[in-house]
Structure 1
Amino acid sequence: MIRVEREGAVCVVSIDRPARRNALRPADLDALAAAVREASAPVVLLRGEGTAFCAGADLDVVSGLDRDGARDLAARGQRVVRAFEAADAVIVAGVDGAARGGGVEIALGCDLRVATPDASFAEPGVSLGLFGAWGGTARLARVCGESDAMDLALSGRRVDAETALRMGLVSRIVDDPRAVADEIAAHPPDALAALKRRMRDRDDVPTQEAREVEAFADLVAAHAEDIAASRRED
């Protein structure tokens, strides 16, 4: 269900359940979190097989849950996105086809979201009397702004790649998300990891700035020869 393939500096993690539009069951969520935690490459490309990126939680599972089971499913999904945020690797969501509900939330946990022209996004949970519980209410407004986040969540409407780009839900529309992963992976892994940690820092600004100073100093020391060579070339 969750396939992992190391291809050079990029680890490709595929949700491989196309007959169910890559809908996720509890065990799949655990496997997805483990795949990212254990990725040995500096960049991870997350993708879905078939015509969907990810349809979110498997509704066959959801329909049979009691209150405790619902809590557990929500907690497992939240652990996935937290694992994405905590990983040293840069996680790129390559959205090709439908991202629905939890699929949008999984993408929100990634460091970068890129879409193909065939991508579409929706948070349809409200039509079932639900909402996104894999961190969607915490992250969607942070990424898109409150107005667009409210619109998506309250209407349940589907938006195409161009609209998602306007909202800031994705940063680019590309034919091949792998090209973006390769572009990022061409840079030094320690710089990528440091950039991710600093961008993900939610502490107060003075604390962030102090950490930024130290991280910058570490990188200058580590890459002194490359910096000097670049200066000579200029």
Structure 2
Amino acid sequence: MITTSIDGSVATVTLDRPRKRNALSPAALADLEATVADFDTPVVHLRGAGPAFCAGADLGAVADLDGEAAHEFARSGQRVANAIESTESVFVAGIDGAARGGGVELALACDIRLATPDATFAETGVRLGLFGAWGGTHRLPEVVGAGNALDLALSGRTIDAEEALRMGLISRVVEDPAEVAATIAGHDSDALAALKERMRDDAPPEEQDRREADTFAGLVERADLTEYR
């Protein structure tokens, strides 16, 4: 279900269940959580196998959950998203084809979201009397604004890559997200980790400023800038 490969500074994590559009069961989420925690490469490219990125939760598995198990399923998805967000590695979501529900939520946790021209997005939970509970109710408004988030979640409508770009759900439309991931991985790994940590910092502004200056000073001490003297 979850396959991995490493090429230099880029690890590729593939949601590999194309016949189910890479929908995630409780077991797959647990596998993904363990996988995310195990990487130390500067960049991780998250992608889906086949014609979809990720259809979100495996509804066949969800249908068999009682309330307690459903609660744990939500918490498991949240742990995966939080791990993606908090790890030092820069996570690049390469979205090709459909991203639905939990698939959108996994992408939201990534640091960079890239879509191919064939990508589409929808928060479809409302159509089933549900909603995405892998952190999407707070990440989606943070990324696209409250108005756009409510529109997507309450309507359940599907948007294409260009509309996703206009509202800020993705940062670029590209033919090959793997190429972008490789380009990012070509930069200094310490600088990449430092930038992610600083931009993810939610401390008060004064503390953020202090941490920013400390981190910059540490990078200057180790950088080789002699050619610029």
Does the TM-score normalized on the shorter chain lie above 0.5?
yes
What is the 5 A alignment of 1:63-142?
63-142=63-142
Correspondence for 1:167: 167
Q: In the TM superposition, what whole-angstrom CA distance separates every residue of 1:76-133 from its partner, at most 9, and x where no partner exists? A: 0000000001111000000000000000000001011000000000001001111110
Shift of 1:183: 1.2
What is the 5 A alignment of 1:141-220?
141-220=141-220
TM-score, normalising length: structure 1: 0.96
Correspondence for 2:56: 56
- For the residue of structure 2 that corresponds to 1:24, the secondary structure is coil
- Distance in 1 between residues matched to 2:19 and 2:55, nearest whole Å: 11
- For the residue of structure 1 that corresponds to 2:131, the secondary structure is coil
Letter in 1 for 2:226: A
**Aligned length, in residue pairs:** 229
Letter in 2 for 1:131: F
Correspondence for 1:228: 226
- Distance in 2 between residues matched to 1:193 and 1:30, nearest whole Å: 25
In terms of mean alpha carbon deviation, does 27-36 or 1-10 score higher?
27-36
Letter in 2 for 1:139: R
- Distance in 2 between residues matched to 1:70 and 1:98, nearest whole Å: 24
- Distance in 1 between residues matched to 2:4 and 2:40, nearest whole Å: 11
- For the residue of structure 2 that corresponds to 1:131, the secondary structure is coil
Q: In the TM superposition, what whole-angstrom CA distance separates every residue of 1:23-69 from its partner, at most 9, and x where no partner exists? A: 00111112112212111310000000001000000000111111101
- For the residue of structure 2 that corresponds to 1:130, the secondary structure is coil
- For the residue of structure 2 that corresponds to 1:73, the secondary structure is helix
In terms of mean alpha carbon deviation, does 38-47 or 114-123 score higher?
38-47
In terms of mean alpha carbon deviation, does 56-65 or 30-39 score higher?
30-39
Shift of 1:214: 0.6
Correspondence for 1:24: 24
Shift of 1:228: 2.4
Runs of 4+ in 1 over 4 A off after TM superposition: none
TM-score, normalising length: structure 2: 0.98
For the aligned residues, what is the CA RMSD?
0.8
- Distance in 2 between residues matched to 1:79 and 1:124, nearest whole Å: 21
Shift of 1:8: 1.1
Percent sequence identity over aligned pairs: 58
Correspondence for 1:47: 47
- Distance in 1 between residues matched to 2:199 and 2:30, nearest whole Å: 26
- Distance in 2 between residues matched to 1:36 and 1:215, nearest whole Å: 25
Q: Where in structure 2 are there 5+ consecutive unaligned residues?
A: none
Q: In the TM superposition, what whole-angstrom CA distance separates every residue of 1:203-225 from its partner, at most 9, and x where no partner exists? A: 111111111011000000010x2
- For the residue of structure 2 that corresponds to 1:202, the secondary structure is coil
